[in-house]
Amino acid sequence: MKEDIRLQISALYEFALNNPRNEYQVIDMFMIDTALSQKILEKTGIDVDGFWVSIDNYSIVHTLFRHGNPAKEALHGQVAVTKADFLAIPDIILSMDNIVLDVKKQGKSMIKETLIFTKETDNCHYVLKEIRRVTKKGKINRLILQTMYIRRKT
């Protein structure tokens, strides 16, 4: 199953880079199981049991635009995000080191809840940020990637 998801993410990545009509595509990578949901609930107070973890082409474009330039990222002590990093998203979420809830007020009344997943590797600190919760009645409940960045370990 993991290889199938990687192939889907790879195809979505290529679609995102070659999409002149700006069409929208989303991939549901996996459903959050009870164990992962419980871990997220304990750390953040957010219940996401049965939600799908998803990625769309807009998040890929956004991430590459904001965090895909090696020279620009180096100035901030970060590493440019590459295709391989998108392929690692399922593993990062399933084996995260930490998750926190960030709540920001937008405007006068709208509140934006953000789940921030972090994962440490040998030389990097991955951060998946601004996971959007979709909870509309009759729709699939999803956590959708908004952006990611990679901090170089010091």
**Which of 19, 98, 4, 103 has the alpha carbon at shortest distance from 56?**
19
Say if residues 65 and 18 touch (Cβ distance below 8 Å). Answer: no
Q: Return d(Cα 145, Cα 62) in angstroms, integer.
A: 10
Single-letter amino acid, residue 11: A
Let me know if 37 is exposed, middle or buried by CB neighbors in 10 A (0-12, 13-18, 19+).
Answer: middle
Q: How confident is the model at residue 109 (pLDDT cuts 50, 70, 90)?
A: confident
Kindly report the pTM of this predicted structure.
0.88
Q: Residue 130: is its pLDDT beyond 70?
A: no
Least trusted range by pLDDT, from 8-17, 34-43, 72-81, 127-136: 127-136
Across 77-82, average pLDDT = 93
Over residues 67-89, mean pLDDT = 94
Could you read off the pLDDT of 15-45 as tens digits, one per residue? 999 998 999 999 999 999 999 999 999 999 9
Work out the average pLDDT over 42-66: 93
State both tokens at 127.
Answer: 């951060």
Residue 135 binned pLDDT confidence (cut-offs 50, 70, 90): low
pLDDT confidence bin for 139, thresholds 50/70/90: confident
